[in-house]
Structure formats: structure tokens, C-alpha cells
Structure 1
């Protein structure tokens, strides 16, 4: 005797509704399920208890309290229906395949988590986590409910972490630990000219001498400061060079340039003293992959030179940047104008350039083939055009220098064109997700860069907006019959084109605003106007002329088209400078630590979902904006110290005083943007006679053969202490090559010592001593000292005096060290390497460690 299973009223109603939904479609199933859930709620609700009335038309006090107000009449039924509604909406998202869109999001989240950890987690722990989540995902893959999704998400998250670990191992870049002057011999891998005609070379280092470096980087980027005949890729050159490690964050929370240098394989940057020498070539390259790479970079350099010779000035440099991604030749004035006007995205080989090139080639080839009806009927013209466009974008990528933005754009266009070959939708969020997943597998570190984030944010937003427009039920009726007349048609087409550019610019600008604020701390408010004026030139003049010019360049017929390209870019530069003169660049400042995570989560939900579930992203965006606003109300640090201790800024009552009359723009510009500092408030350096400076004597030689300064006498140390003690308040007084001193509002002397011999004298009279060349880490007087070794491990510092001259009340916010034992990762391990002891030492002085927060 079999027992028939029993089902609740709600389960029966849901089953019946979904059965009807199979006949009437997904939309009908949704409406039927909502009705069924409401009927089931009504049937399963307990009958009302009849209570005695207290008079005519009155109810019991308990009933009045239970049903009184909007909360009792409206919210409680909605809350009861909420689980079923969420299941319904989630089922609709799954039916449309939107679950796959979150695969790269989860993998990227795992990669971000791994790169953000202060130390490398044990690899076998990650492997164990991967195995556990894989087994759990397999066991729950056929089960309904949240368990399967949770384990799948955990699996993708662990994959992202392991990808980050594997990429770090794959690069294994050796970064120089400290600045040094040495003789460098190496082979040129790449070269690029700047706006002043100076060449920067990427060298593959073969050897160093005088001194020989124990941890020599494999690749260095060196500038030749004088104009000269350019060397070629593959040449072996040598010369005396000044090498420095890539810069870390200029302030806590800002961009770490050493991170990107590590994954670019660059271990040091610097410049040659004088002109390097060309050495005997020898066996520079032995394996064929390197030979092909050198040939491609030589071809790229020749194409860039050809374009700049044909089109002079910034227009030619702009044109070369669009084709070969060589951007250094554009002048600083034009680069700044493009940035302020919101047109800087045109310079890089990004999705816009690649899409325009592929689209023009695809449409042109398809139109050409369609001119032959017999051929068009016998062969798939659309697929042939897509295959031709795929070959074209591959060639474009090969001469682009393999930059990050070019690689990302190439992957995206490849996925789109392959979708056309297989008769799949080319413009879809699924293709965007596939492109992002491919890039994350190849280079997960890119997800931390603004280029990746802004590119995919704009692409996803545009594709989602296009899909939402296609779903509009009345879009076919948007063009009234009267406007289809031959007279009005050109106006309609023009208006549609302008509306399309406006919508595209607005969506692109809005979607990338989050990342512009986070990474650059500013917004270009007139970007829409600049793009409206410039994009028609880029779409109809610049890119078509560039494409035809490149195709005809091997035959020497490229001049007219390159000239047309230069004419169009001249107009774009004029537009950029005009819009930049409006002053629409708004400084936003550094954001809260959780701003980017919350804003990105809200943006992802709004973009990738199509049901009402996407509205969950609005509270997240609102919370991110609230955190951004609250960050502006936080007090600024009293003192800013660069990572090498050469630049110090005192901030008091809205004014800024620096120890340099002309602060290095690379560091100070980042400080201004992050903290919204007023450049006009920077104090002027006061130069005093260098009466304390003693010149080296001929007999005083150091171990490396250079002259050293003689030791100071007790009288000289005492006189120096008296001079340092007379520091002014609110500005720096400096003695050239010796020190700069100031006094804080609390009456404490702050001394920045350039000559390490005076560090001891400063310790006797100052409360805070910043001495990069000092050999000791503690002052016997009890004053706080920051020497070069300490600053290397902490990175740039924000010092909060908290209204006190007592060191125990101060707080330090460090760019690198978070807990007193620096977060040693592969890309910052060089900071903790002691070349004298040949060992890594992440420990900080106890006095500094106790004040970190």
C-alpha cells in the first residue's frame, strides 16, 4: 500500500502556477505565481477570533492595537509575501542567465581580497579552501535553495585568490631596494620619445658595476636627458645611471606605483648621466619569441615616428598615441587640457578606439562584399567581415605595445567578433562578463587599477542601458509616421545621432564617476559638452582616416589620410583647451576606505540585474555617498612626510607650509588632490646663508672612493642647535643643503635635516626630527626621529599632533606599515631589505610602532 505524499496549500498553488507558466510564458508565470501566493496566504491565515464588542461598532483594545495604523494594514502582508517575491525575482534572473554575470564579480572579489591582505596567506590554506568549496559545490549543485549558490560563490572567490597568488609567483619581479648610482649595461626592449625629444628606454639589465648590485633588477626604465640619435630596440647600451625604486603611495590610501611596476616587470626607474654608449651587439636575443617581440616593438616605433614626421606638433603625437599607444610625446599642456575636459580616454587604446576601428572595418568590408550579389548569396558575408575585423584588431593590438588598456580592449572585441561568427548576440552583458573573466584569469592584478575598473564600468553600463532600451514596449512607435517623410528624415537621423552621443556620454561619465573620484579625487564636470563636440570628429574623421592610412602605409600612400587625421585631432585639441578653460575640474578629495567597495557593489547590482532586485543597489550607493561626505568632515593631519623624507608640509588653520619653495609636482600634486589643499597657501622657502657648511677636504675619502664631509666640532654642534631652536611659526626657514625648520602651533620645533651630521644637534632642541640620512633611529634626548630606514618601512606619513607637543599623544598614519610590522608583500618587500646585512627586516622602532593607527 503506497502512501501518497502530502503537500501544503502554498506548494500546490505554486506547482499549479508554474504549470500554467509553462504554457503562457515567463511573464505569465510571474503573474500567476503572485496570485497563487496571495491566495495561499489568504487560505493559510488563521481565522479571526471573535471577541466580545465593547459597545456598538467598537472592537477590543487588543484588536485595535494589532490593526492600527499603516504598519498593521500595509507592511505586514508585504513582509509575509517578501520571501516568495524574492524567490520569484531570483528565478527570473536565473531564467535570463544573469547568474553567470556574477562569475567574474566573485572571481575579482577574491583577487582583490588577496592583493589587499597585509601578508601572503599560506598557499596550502588556499588550496584546502578550494578543495572544500569544490566538493561542497558538487554535492549541492542539484539542490534548490541558497546553499548551492553560497558554495559556488565561495568556490569562485577562492579561485580569484589563487589566481592572484599564481600571478605574483609568475612575475617574481626584483625591485631595487634603495636609490643608487651605478654603471648599467643592458639590451633595449622598448623605447619611447617624450614631448621634448628625449628618449626613455626599457632595458633588460645584463650587468651592473661600480658598485655591483647584489639584487639587481631584471628590467629598468631609464631616461636619456639630452637629445641624441635614438638607439634601436635590440641594441646593447651602457652608461652611468641613477636608479631608484618605483614610488609607493604619496599618502595612505593613494596609488602604489610599485604595485603596477612589479606586475609590469619594471624593477627600477631613473636616468642616464650623459649619453649612454652603444656596445658590441653580440648575441642579444637567442630565442624566437624575444626576436618576434623586438621586431614588433621596432615596427611600432617606426610607425609612431612616421606619423609624427607626417603630422607635426601635438596633433601628430596624439595620432601616434591612438595608433601605437606612445603617449609621452604629447605636451603636458595638451595632456592636462584633455584631462580637464574629460577627453583623456581618447588618447589610450581603449575599448572606444578598438570598437571604432573594428566597426569601421567590419561595415566597410561587409558593404564591399555586398556589392557582388552572387558572392553575397553564396557565402556568409557577415561572418567573413567579422573574421576580417578580427584579423584587423589583432594587428592593431600587436603594434600597440601590449598595454593594459589595449589588451583589455582586444579581448573584449575578440569575444564580440567571435560571437558574430557563431551567430550569437554580439552586444550583451554575457560577452562583457566573458571578457572580464578572461582578463582576470590572465592578469588578476589589473582589477585594482583605474583603467580596468573604468573601462568595464562604462562598457557594462552602456550595454545594460542598450538592453533596457530594447525592452521598452513602445520603442517601435517612437518614430511617428509623419517623421518618416523624405524631407524630415535627415533631421530625424541627426537628432538620433546627437541623442545617442548624449546618452552614451552621460552613461559613460556617470558610470565612471565612482572610480574617477576614488583614484583621481576629482571630476570633470564639462565632460559631456566636450564629448558631444569631439566624438563626431573621432568617429567620422579621425578613426576612418587612421584605419585607411595604416592599410596604405606599406605602399607609401598614407600621407593624405594621416593629414586628415591630424586635422581632426587639431580640432579635438582646440575643443579640449576651450572646455578646460571653463574651469570645470572639481576637487573631491580622498575617499573613505569603504567608499569604493560599497559604491561598486551598488553599481554592479543596478547594472547586472534586470528585475526589481537591482534596486537593492540604491541603498548601497546612498551609503557610499554618505561615507564620502563624512570623509570631508574629518580633520586633516598636522604634518605630511613623503616616503623619502625630502618633502614635508605643515598644515595649520587652512594654510600649508612646505620645506621646498617649489615642491616636487609628482608628490605635491597628489597631496593637493587627496586633501584638497590650496596651492596658493604654500609658503615661500627662506634661504639663509650657509655659514655652517663645511666643505670636504682632499684627504677625507669614504670607502667607495668619494669625498666625505668632516666631522663637526662640539662648538659647531652647539651653534647649529641654537640656530635650529630659533625656528619660526607657520613657515620653514632653511639653510641650503643643511636643514629646514619650523614651529607648530603647540610651540614644538620640527626639523627637516638634509645633512645627517646635524641630526644629533636637532635631537637636542626639536620635538620631531626628519633626517633621511641619519644613521641612528632613536634620539637620546627623547625626541622623535624619522630616518631613511624608518621611512622606507612606513612609507609616506600623516602625523596627527592632536594639539599636543608630547610625543605620546601623537598618532601616525602610515602608507605601508599598518601594525608596526610592515605588510610585506612581493611588490613592497624591497622596502624591508637591508643590503648591508643582506636580510629582510620589517620591524619598526618601538616608539614609531606604538603611535601607528
Structure 2
């Protein structure tokens, strides 16, 4: 009891500094919604609404010690309600079956797929014989085969023949949930085409696509002036168009911890607004009659805010770009209101706005990394303000760069490791070399080129910008090629990141020694849980086409190619950087193609694919064996083995098989993901198809 009272008193001592904690409590509720294994019904949502009202009342009029906890409880319940409301608001039809046939739609996005193919996102979708109210709002199609008959442009209505399917669930239980991401993107089907894409109607002049069209025009113009990947990188920085950035470039940027430079985020928005703010303010100072009559600081803030808004419209309304704009806007408005622009309060306000508008962004790495880095930078620079006068003037910029890179790197490293299963060991070195060039050459030249382009004088600025982006890509390639540049790490359990984030915030932001000790303990516990986690002994793909057995040499895969995304995801989640063909060559799975056996303690696990799979599976069904079958089991009910055939796997999703004291424990992706809006199974495929066609 005394410990609880002491904790409440410590929390009360933080009054006046609790605004930065508001988004943390809101995030707890949002995270709780996404962690549920069922979709909350009217009763749960009604109870949460009641909690919001009562807790908010207690937070304003209750006892002093109870006010902060009550307000936090109200925010937690409000976060759950926000996330649930957002999930229902974005609801759109999902393709209920596999489809092959003509697809018509308007181009609204152009990017690249996992296999480095050009990919189109279409809206206003028309599918053959499918009722409009059952047709997905958006579909995404990767372009294979011979193309080039049509130049995809924003707003262009195209027609093609494509293979489409509903968004797939996690490649393993508890893995990345693409169905959830697709749901909040209103993406109802994904697929590919090997047939040419043909133009059906010319681009529309809709205002909604005007910025997209301008973006692609500027991107093409920049790539005409700056050759190669340096031009593609420059275009991505200024317009958000990454369709020309090759997979090898992305790999080098990731391996050197410079991938944050290609995603328009807080760094880009900060560099842009900082350059515009400084240029306007000091430019006005050169005109004394003007500088004496207006507040140049506020005038510069207004122009910088306008520049940020133009950059947002040009770069596209991606989550990362919107988040960066909100953070920059909050800080510039603080300047206009004569408040501190860079503070934890400003970050808290920005995080609240982002979470209220898009609660789903909480579970995305971009949100976590950008706000984590920002908080770390603010906390790190508080002592720097006091210490910098002891550093020689010429060394201050270098010291600030090292401090900022180290602080941001330490804050984002565990987040990047958890999401991407890798740590760039020379990331600090790469950022020390690349970020100054980004801030002093690339972004300023980009702004100058944008100002000079209307009068046809942008070429010199673009040339200089190209030199800068070329140097950054050289740094990325050089660092990525160093021995030990990338350290692979296994995926953590779900509880690790929330616990680590909460512990880190309590440790860094609070003043109370008790609170800091609790934060350090929570962060340490998260790291211990991560280190002690064990990967499944056997993984099975959701279609039964691939299995992976954990061995002393790493996970052995059942085939050298095919299901490449699944194979790569499994290996990365193991903390294994091997290629699929190398994993296939590992000992562990025995037998021939189409009939492979793995030993799981005293239980035999069989994997059958291809022609004759069912008959071979029937022969192996004995002695409690685990039988994985990529075809449909048509025979009698198996009584002496566990069978997961294609039909059963469609219901369960991917499998993770664990060995507990020699006994098999099978966890399904469906079991972990639960029954949510984005993964609810419809009627059997034939009935769904009939209903969709009616």
C-alpha cells in the first residue's frame, strides 16, 4: 500500500509535465485494441465510453492523488474507442475469392513490389460480373512480363487481365499482419499480371489527383537532369516517388542505416522548414526598413509553414509525410504563439494529433521511430545547452552531429531491430558522413531548384543536388560492403516493444528516482524477454507449399525457390541472413521433392506437395505423425495422425510448431490474430463468389 501511495505521489510531483504522457496513455488504449483477439462489440465499447466519462470527471474533480491516474485511464479507454471507430470508418469490400480476369481501374499510386517490379494501385475498380457493392475499393497489381505499351500516369484509367486474391494473413503466427495494413489502406485485393497494361481513358483532371500528377511530372524531370540512381534518390526525396529506386539501392540504404533518408519524414520536413525559416529570417534582416517594422521570426515561421504545406501536397499524403508535417506545424505554430518550439510538450501535441487522426499509425515502425528519435534528441540536448559553452566553437557542429546521431540511433535501433531484424553496426558512421551533406547541400539545392524551375534555371541546382545524392549512395554502398555491417537479430515477442518503449520513456522523461528506477527495470525486463525467446521448431506456410525446420545450422527450408517472401520473412525473423537456396541445402529435411520428412522429437512431420501428394500422405498417416499437405485431403478422416491439408490451412493460416518436453504444440496464425474486421472469414468460396456475382 505504501509503495502504491509513493508511486501516486511521484506521479503527482510530475504535474505540469504530464502533457507529453497524454499520447502515451492514448497509445495504450490503441495498442490494447490491436492486441485483442476479438472485435469489441457494443457492450465493450459502451463500457469504454462509460469509463471515459467517469474517469474524466474524476480527473477534474476527484482527490488530488487520483487525478493523474484517472485522466490516464480516461485516455486509455478513449484510445480503444478511437481505434475501433477508425477501423469501422475505413471499412471497404475485400475480395472473397481468387479472381482471374479483366480489371479496370484508375491509377492512384505507382511503386515497386517485393520482387522489384513496377506496381500500380487502382481505384474505381471494375471486375467482370462482380456487383459494385462487393468490388474492392482499391486493388494493387504488380506488372510482370512484357510491358511498355502504356506509360502509367496518375489518373489514367487502365484495363488489364490480372490474377487477384484477398490480402494474405501473417506468414507465421504473430508475424507482420498484412491483412490489417491492407484494411486501413482500403486495399481489398492484390495480385499480378503478365499481360500488357492498356490505357482505356485519358488521365482525368480531378483536383484530388492534381498533386499526384504534378509529383510524377517533377520526378520525371529530376531524373532527366540527374542520371541513374542518384536521380531516382533525389526524386524520392523531393516528391516521394520511389518507383525508380532499385532494390539494390534500398538494400544498401538499409544495411547502412540510411533508409530513413529516402522516406519523407521528420528529417526532411525539418531540414526543409529549417532552411526556409533561416533563409527568410536572415534575408529579411538584410533589409532594415522591413526588419524594424515586422517580427522577422514570426514572418519566417509563416513562410516555413507554407513551404511545409506545399511539400506535404507535393510528396503525397503518406502516413510518414503527414506525421512529419504535423510535427513541423506544431513547432512553427509554437513560434507564432511565443512558446518554445522544440519541447516535449510540442512532441506530445504532435503525437496526440497523429494518433487521433490515424490511430493505426501506432503499430507502424515509422511512427515509433520518428517519435522515439525526436524524444531522444530533445532529452539529449537538454544537458548540451549547458555544456556547449565548454566546447571550442569550431568543434561544436561536429559534437552536435555526433550527439544527435548517437541519440537518435540508440533510440531507434531496438525499434528497427524488432521490425526489420537487423542492426546496422556502422550506422553511426554512415549518418555522420551522409546527414551533413543532406542538410547542407541536397535539401537546400532541392528548394533552390524548385524556386528556379519556373524560369528554367534549375539545372545548376539540380546538378549540385545530384552530386550530393550520389555521394550519399556511395556512402551507403561503401558502409554496406564492410565486414559485419549488418547484425541479424531474431524477432521479439509482442510484449517486448511496448515494455521497452514505456520503460525508456519513464527513464528518460521523469524526474523522480523511483519512477526512473521502475523505467530502467521495465526496459531491462524487455531485453531479457527478447533474449530468452525461442523460435518455433517448425513453420508451415498458409498454403502448405513451404515448411521450415529449425536446425543447429539454421532453419532448413523445403524448396530452393518459390514462396520467396515467406522464406525471406522466416529467415529474417530467425535472425538469419541466409538466402533461400542456401537454407534449402541445410541438412534436416529428408526425402525427395514433394515428400519430405522432418523429425520433431519422437514425432515424424511429413510435407507432401505436387502430383500424388494425397496418396503419399495417406501412407504416412500413422503413429501420430504430423502431415502437411498442399492439396486437399479427400479420403476418410485420419485417425492416427494430425493432417493439415489445403482446406484446413485456409481456416488456420500459417502454423508454428513448438516442442514442449518432447510434445508438439501447434499454434495457428488464426488463433493469434483472432477474429477481427480485417481477417474475418466469409462464407465458403463458392457461396462467396455466387453472392459477389449477384
TM over 0.5: yes
Distance 1:465 1:784, change over 3 A: same
| 2:537 counterpart of 1:645 | no
Distance 1:772 1:512 in 2: 40
Distance 1:747 1:431, change over 3 A: closer
Distance 1:497 1:440 in 2: 34
Residue matched to 2:82: 163
Contact 2:265 2:320 in 1 (8 A): yes
Contact 2:121 2:139 in 1 (8 A): yes
Contact 1:221 1:266 in 2 (8 A): yes
Residue matched to 1:113: 32
Distance 1:136 1:251, change over 3 A: closer
Please report how far the alpha carbon of residue 619 of structure 1 lies from its aligned counterpart in structure 2 after TM superposition: 1.0
Distance 1:777 1:379 in 2: 85
Contact 2:617 2:629 in 1 (8 A): no
Q: Please list the CA deviations of residues 176-201 of structure 1 after superposition, one character each: whole Å capped at 9, or x if unmatched.
A: 33433221111222234689996422
Match runs of 1:83-162 below 5 Å: 89-94=10-15, 97-139=16-58, 141-162=60-81
Distance 1:606 1:630 in 2: 23
SS of the aligned residue for 1:399 comes to: helix
SS of the aligned residue for 2:519 comes to: helix
Please report how far the alpha carbon of residue 321 of structure 1 lies from its aligned counterpart in structure 2 after TM superposition: 1.0
Please report how far the alpha carbon of residue 275 of structure 1 lies from its aligned counterpart in structure 2 after TM superposition: 0.7
Residue matched to 1:793: 651
Q: 1:478 aligns with which of 362, 379, 390?
A: 390
Residue matched to 2:294: 379
Please report how far the alpha carbon of residue 802 of structure 1 lies from its aligned counterpart in structure 2 after TM superposition: 5.6
Distance 1:425 1:774, change over 3 A: same
Residue matched to 1:742: 597
SS of the aligned residue for 1:836 comes to: helix
Distance 1:114 1:407, change over 3 A: same
Distance 2:650 2:132 in 1: 19
Contact 1:779 1:785 in 2 (8 A): no
Distance 1:799 1:832 in 2: 27
Moved more, 208-217 or 167-176: 208-217
Structure 2 gaps of 5+ residues are: none
| 2:225 counterpart of 1:306 | no
Residue matched to 2:568: 669
Q: 1:529 aligns with which of 426, 429, 432?
A: 429
Q: 1:466 aligns with which of 372, 376, 381?
A: 381
Contact 1:672 1:679 in 2 (8 A): yes
Residue matched to 1:326: 241
* CA RMSD in angstroms, aligned pairs only: 3.0
Q: 2:518 aligns with which of 590, 606, 616?
A: 616
Please report how far the alpha carbon of residue 248 of structure 1 lies from its aligned counterpart in structure 2 after TM superposition: 2.4
| 2:673 counterpart of 1:754 | no
Bigger Rg, which one: 1
SS of the aligned residue for 1:246 comes to: coil
SS of the aligned residue for 1:120 comes to: coil
Distance 2:388 2:657 in 1: 62
Contact 1:729 1:742 in 2 (8 A): no
Match runs of 1:159-238 below 5 Å: 159-192=78-111, 199-209=118-128, 215-225=134-144, 226-228=146-148, 229-238=150-159
Q: 1:815 aligns with which of 650, 655, 669?
A: 669
Contact 1:643 1:795 in 2 (8 A): yes
Distance 2:544 2:596 in 1: 14
Please report how far the alpha carbon of residue 206 of structure 1 lies from its aligned counterpart in structure 2 after TM superposition: 3.2
Residue matched to 1:715: none
| 2:164 counterpart of 1:262 | no
Contact 1:799 1:813 in 2 (8 A): yes
Distance 1:477 1:277, change over 3 A: closer
Contact 1:340 1:524 in 2 (8 A): yes
SS of the aligned residue for 1:200 comes to: strand
| 2:678 counterpart of 1:827 | yes
Please report how far the alpha carbon of residue 250 of structure 1 lies from its aligned counterpart in structure 2 after TM superposition: 2.1
Q: Please list the CA deviations of residues 751-792 of structure 1 after superposition, one character each: whole Å capped at 9, or x if unmatched.
A: 434347631442222433323331559743533222233223
Q: Please list the CA deviations of residues 118-155 of structure 1 after superposition, one character each: whole Å capped at 9, or x if unmatched.
A: 11112343234323442343255244433222222221
Distance 1:764 1:408 in 2: 57
Match runs of 1:276-675 below 5 Å: 276-280=197-201, 291-470=206-385, 472=386, 475=387, 478=390, 492-582=392-482, 583-612=484-513, 613-631=515-533, 634=534, 636-675=535-574
Distance 1:83 1:520, change over 3 A: closer
Moved more, 591-600 or 317-326: 591-600
Q: 2:687 aligns with which of 837, 840, 853?
A: 837
TM-score (norm 2): 0.91
Distance 1:836 1:630, change over 3 A: same
Distance 1:431 1:155 in 2: 21
Q: Which protein has greater RCO, CA pairs closer than 8 Å, 6+ apart?
A: 2
Distance 1:197 1:227 in 2: 14
Distance 1:169 1:549 in 2: 43
TM-score (norm 1): 0.75
